[in-house]
């Protein structure tokens, strides 16, 4: 059976991968290349019990071709790493501003009821690791795993960056009360999560930058994901809000949960930010 690992690493030893983006990857082809997947995009190693059970959470809206690319590369990648994992694609239904962070919280809340996951990897759909040694696992502290992305010349654009891919154990994620729910539109929700981690006395770990090299699919900013310019104020008061705004204030309505061969699709109505938990409301509450 052809897979990216057999093609690039005949001995199946992990190492640099040849990642090329092509937009004609069919779901049927990806399914046929991953015959051992269980419904909902689950897999576990055949000959051992994995130490961690990993839920991969992907926020999503209108990125079908990126999702196909992600599935094409990441299923073989995770299976080669002997991961016990499931993939959750969390789709925002409304046309209102995108809320990446709230979708992450919904993904966590649904996945935790599905299986006894111990590790949650929150990833964008458009970043693909370029090295099989970049272990998709949780650690003693929350991990930032997109610390070497081609778009940023394989460097950190700033020290506290926490975007793209992050990994939290269940305990770590509960400790920070998840992501904030009030970041509508582009930017800042990841910086705010970084502040939560620090406020709760944890550090951010990062993999070696050579091994963590990743490729980002270049694209234009999505319509409906404009920046509101409010992030800066919200990030400043992260430590004051974190116990009130997050997993414990999460309100959403599930439209459907569908088990596909390659992933579990969660379609959710997360509101439009004009209710009690709106950004304006939160800014007022904290006199920002």
Residue count of the chain = 288
187 binds ligand BGN (CB under 6 A): yes
190 binds ligand BGN (CB under 6 A): yes
Does the annotation count 126 as an active-site position? yes
Pairing of strands 127-129, 214-216: antiparallel
Q: Quick one: which of 240, 255, 256, 251 has its CA closest to 277? A: 251
State which residue, 133 or 151, has the beta carbon closest to ligand BGN: 151
Please tell me which residue in 84, 124, 192, 245 is annotated as part of the active site. 124
Q: Which residue is nearest to ligand BGN (CB)?
A: 187
Smallest distance from the beta carbon of 152 to ligand BGN, in angstroms?
8
178 binds ligand BGN (CB under 6 A): no
Please tell me which residue in 84, 91, 190, 191 is annotated as part of the active site. 190
124 binds ligand BGN (CB under 6 A): no
What is d(CA 155, CA 218) in angstroms, rounded to the nearest whole number? 17
Smallest distance from the beta carbon of 11 to ligand BGN, in angstroms?
36
245 binds ligand BGN (CB under 6 A): no
Does the annotation count 221 as an active-site position? yes
What is d(CA 86, CA 77) in angstroms, rounded to the nearest whole number? 13
Smallest distance from the beta carbon of 276 to ligand BGN, in angstroms?
24
Does the annotation count 190 as an active-site position? yes
State which residue, 30 or 182, has the beta carbon closest to ligand BGN: 182
Please tell me which residue in 216, 226, 243, 260 is annotated as part of the active site. 216
State which residue, 146 or 270, has the beta carbon closest to ligand BGN: 146
Say if residue 49 is exposed, middle or buried (CB neighbours under 10 Å; 0-12, 13-18, 19+). exposed
End-to-end Cα separation, the chain, in angstroms: 57
Q: Considering only residues 155, 232, 251, 254, which one is a binding residue for ligand BGN as defined by CB under 6 A? A: 232
Q: With contact defined as beta carbons under 8 Å apart, do 119 and 52 qualify?
A: yes
207 binds ligand BGN (CB under 6 A): no
Which runs of E-coded beta strand occur in the chain? 53-60, 84-92, 119-123, 127-129, 143-144, 165-169, 214-216, 253-259, 264-269
126 binds ligand BGN (CB under 6 A): no
Question: What residue has token string 């970041």?
Answer: 183
191 binds ligand BGN (CB under 6 A): yes
Does the annotation count 219 as an active-site position? yes
Give whole-number Cα distances, 172 to 8, 44, 107, 120, 139, in Å.
Answer: 35, 23, 16, 10, 10
Q: Considering only residues 43, 231, 277, 279, which one is a binding residue for ligand BGN as defined by CB under 6 A? A: 231
Pairing of strands 264-269, 253-259: antiparallel
Does the annotation count 184 as an active-site position? no
DSSP conformation letters of 24-69: ---HHHHHHH-TTPBTTTBB--SSS--S-EEEEEEEESS-HHHHHH
List residues binding ligand BGN (CB under 6 A). 161, 163, 187-188, 190-191, 231-232, 235
Residue numbers annotated as active site: 124, 126, 186, 189-190, 216, 219, 221
């Amino acid at each position: 059976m052809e897979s990216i690992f057999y093609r690039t690493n005949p001995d199946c030893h992990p190492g640099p991968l040849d990642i090329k983006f092509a937009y004609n990857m069919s779901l049927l082809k990806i399914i046929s290349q991953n015959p051992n997947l269980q419904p909902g995009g689950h897999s576990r190693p055949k000959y051992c019990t994995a130490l961690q059970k990993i839920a991969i959470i992907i926020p999503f809206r209108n990125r079908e071709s990126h999702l196909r690319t992600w599935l094409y590369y990441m299923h073989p990648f995770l299976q080669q790493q002997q991961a016990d994992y499931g993939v959750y694609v969390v789709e925002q239904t409304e046309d209102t501003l995108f809320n990446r962070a709230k979708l992450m919280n919904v993904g966590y809340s649904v996945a935790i009821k599905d299986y006894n996951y111990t590790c949650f990897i929150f990833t964008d759909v458009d970043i693909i690791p370029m090295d099989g040694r970049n272990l998709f696992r949780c650690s003693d502290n929350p991990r930032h795993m997109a610390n070497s992305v081609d778009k940023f010349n394989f460097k950190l654009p700033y020290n506290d960056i926490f975007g793209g891919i992050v990994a939290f154990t269940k305990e770590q994620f509960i400790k920070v009360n998840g992501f904030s729910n009030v970041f509508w539109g582009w930017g800042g929700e990841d910086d705010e999560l970084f502040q939560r981690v620090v406020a709760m006395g944890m550090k951010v770990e990062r993999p070696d930058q050579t091994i963590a090299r990743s490729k980002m699919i270049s694209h234009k900013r999505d319509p409906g994901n404009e920046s509101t310019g409010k992030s800066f104020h919200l990030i400043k008061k992260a430590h004051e809000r974190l116990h009130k705004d997050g997993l414990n204030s999460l309100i959403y309505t599930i439209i459907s949960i569908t088990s596909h061969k390659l992933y579990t699709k969660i379609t959710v109505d997360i509101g439009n930010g004009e209710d009690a938990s709106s950004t304006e409301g939160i800014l007022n509450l904290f006199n920002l």
